[in-house]
Chains A and B, each alone.
Chain A
Amino acid sequence: MSTTDRFVPDRLQSPLEQRLKSWETLLLLVAIGIFVANSFASPYFLNAWNLSDATFNFTEKAMIAFAMALLIISGEIDLSVASIIALASTAMGAAVQMGVGMPGLVLIGLGVGLLCGAFNGLLVTRMGLPSIVVTIGTMSLFRGISFIVLGDQAFRGYPQSFSWFGQGYVWWVISFEFVLFAIIALIYAILLHKTNFGRAVYAIGNNATGAMFSGIRVQRVKFTLFLLTGLMSGVAAICLTARLGSTRPSIATGWELEIVTMVVLGGVSILGGSGTIIGVVIAAFVMGLVTFGLGLLNVPGIVMSIVIGALLIGVIALPRLWSMWRAR
């Protein structure tokens, strides 16, 4: 049977060639365009400290977006992430009132995130409930607990060492949050693109039945993804709480949709199965730059959300319009 007179090559296009034709390249051009436009629009834009400030617009959201990207690629979603932030922040605030110090606060933040992620994951993987319904439910549930605990009060009095996570600088204009963002991006890029686990995530997102029939432990992988998303929400809760210096139950309201927007803008298919971490990184910069640039121009928040919405639809529709135009 091994008459190998025909040779099947590994690839037809080199990886570089594929990358140049990819969504991420298009998105990078958009990002550069926005950067250039911003630097012309406002004289304050090209300033190292201003740019450094701008990164706070996306670092915390992006940390969650990386985990969310894996979850969406696997065909699931978690809409409770912002509420997990609220619950984790509330737990840390309550701990501060009881005199818990910095290391304890970090553990509480991460722990609450993990527990919430495990709760979502169990409901989805053990009971077979659809994740969009489960996490809409826990979205109300988790934040509801924060409201019961806090009412219209706020927790304050975080120790100085804790505040560093949200306000500290590692070197010159490079904030701790930005460094953490970069490290997490790298970890998730390796996890998704270079490991067995990442390969399983793609396989599940493309065809969960086929993946199961190929010996992949589908439910175990999905549960892990919910854990990771919860954990990253805990990390974001630590950074955000430290940066604000207080906890209110309304903290991070509406972030879940901004995070999903970031993921989808980054080229992750909302139907699952495809997407890259570098795409989400670029999308994070695009969203941060747009928000910051418009802020410098004193554009009100409402208009900003209109622009982000239009940007999302525009960038998503562009390749489709392009292929429709070429097909004519």
Chain B
Amino acid sequence: MLEQTDNTILRDAASDDVAVLALDRITKTFPGVKALSEVSLQLYPGKVTALIGENGAGKSTVVKTMTGIYQPDGGAILVGGKVTKFPVPQAASDHGVTAIHQETVLFDELSVAENIFLGHAPRGAFGLIDLKKMAERAREILNGIGANIDPEHKLKDLGIANKHLVAVARALSIDARVVIMDEPTAALSHKEIEELYELVETLKAQGKAILFISHKFDEIFRIADNYTVFRDGQLIGDGAIADVSEPDLVKMMVGRDVSQIFPTRDSSPGDTILRVEGYSHPTEFEDIGFFLRKGEILGFYGLVGAGRSELMQALFGITRPSGGTVEIDGAPVQIKSPADAVDSGIVYVPEDRGKQGAILDLPIFQNVTLPSLGRISSKGFLKLAEEFKLAREYTERLDLRAASLDTHVGNLSGGNQQKVVIAKWLATKPKVIILDEPTKGVDIGSKAAVHEFMAELAAQGLAVIMVSSEIPEVLGMSDRVIVMREGRMVAELANGDLQPETLVRHAAGI
């Protein structure tokens, strides 16, 4: 069906100048957020283009637009110079565009060959799947990328690196011309990363255009030919990697003037309230030790997967640590469940609002009072009037915008949902509040409100821990910053005149 188009691409791909896939001034808006604002991006055959940007810069949105999951509100997608639309994901893969995602979408219970050919398996008699041919072709493709994997094996028996290779093989099985790799090395060991680099070289040699999304500058300089930098949904710069230096890229990525948009804080921390020592987890983090004072905001910075959220979830009793001590107000505490943590005065605003932070199908007031039911009831019986009073008190403090307090939280915007979650915890009168990526998926207006409120909480003497991957937020809000890398604390920095470059260097280990 697509013979015609295919030929066009091939012809254009032969000349080096025409991008095999290009985005031309693409705009994508979500309710309350402009995720992409007139961004352009070109991918050339046999070239690796690195896409660089902070979390929330619009990288994932651009990938979803290129693979037909999202439809752009404005701008055009060009395949081999021709304006094309990807109304459904299938259309993108018909044009040879394929993505290997961060959490690769594969099926554990199916065989390697079935995973590679799911949806386009070779057919035999009566339209049944030709298992023999499928295994043969799977083996061919796997050999082609130097992967020594038996196609008959079930996927769940493979390690993470081999699963990645299966994902790559799947991409190649549809005759991909454009391969998008979204942080492919995030979960890989050093040796596996080297193997992945070799694979990228192989794909380059085969003339594939590769979009390589990464936070790690060393690998960008190692394998990329071109770069494109996004910030806040806008294109900041692009060009040949040979023409830029690492500091240039960091500057483009971080960019804006930090001090302007954040509330000015007069920080004079009080007594130490939380002390963590030798805190370890079997797999996620090791030997963490820090203290936190009243009225202080302690930032935790690191790359995705550095173990920050896992550390916080252990402090909140979701997972069990393997060792170490936690003291509150000088007294050791045993936290075995979130209920224990709340009783000890530690509360946690998780990154995943929809699943963990709020109960979307319950009304606002019930969400706010859920951890404080004991305070609005006598002998276990709820008092509705007091419940509304408590909910009103804390939602008003946060300037919540909603039609009514019995509106379901799921109907609110991201920013207002976040306010409900914070209100819920403030109502418990905590000592320590942990905010995990507090402004992720929150629109600009509410972002400022959340920041302002954090500053106010600290001013009132609450101890705040803020996990954030947004450098301006870390620099703009924290008194001190702890940087984590691969489950360990690698730096503890006082935030006087901390430079973005310093954070990035510690986090990436360069």
A residues lining the B interface (CB < 8 Å): 1-4, 6, 8-12, 190, 194-197, 199-200, 202-203, 206-207, 209-217, 273-274
Contact = CB atoms under 8 A, between A and B. Distances in A.
A199 B373 CA distance: 9
Given A12-B404, A199-B373, A209 B356 contact: yes
A202 to B, nearest CB: 7
Nearest to B406: A11
B358 to A, nearest CB: 6
Contacts of B398: 1
A10 B390 CA distance: 11
B131 to A, nearest CB: 32
Contacts of B380: 195-197
Nearest to A274: B361
A215 B371 contact: yes
B400 A8 contact: yes
B7 to A, nearest CB: 45
A215 B341 contact: yes
B381 interface: yes
7 contacts: A9-B403, A10-B365, A10-B392, A195-B381, A195-B382, A202-B362, A203-B359
A19 B399 CA distance: 30
A21 to B, nearest CB: 14
B342 interface: yes
A1 B339 contact: no
A212 B339 CA distance: 8
Contacts of B371: 214-216
Contacts of A6: 401
A196 B404 contact: no
A1 B373 contact: no
| Size category of the binding interface on chain B | 35 or more
A199 B369 CA distance: 10
Nearest to B365: A10
A206 B373 contact: no
B456 A1 contact: yes
B56 interface: no
Contacts of A190: 381
B284 to A, nearest CB: 18
A1 B359 contact: no
B245 to A, nearest CB: 43
Contacts of B221: none
A49 to B, nearest CB: 39
A12 B388 CA distance: 14
A203 B372 CA distance: 13
Given A1-B397, A11-B406, A195-B382, A217 B362 contact: no
Contacts of A200: 373
A203 B370 contact: yes
B355 interface: yes
B360 interface: yes
Given A199-B366, A213-B318, A2 B356 contact: no
Given A8-B395, A199-B366, A199-B373, A216 B339 contact: yes
Nearest to A190: B381
B350 A213 contact: yes
A9 B404 contact: yes
A212 B317 CA distance: 10
Contact of B399 (A3, A11, A216): A3
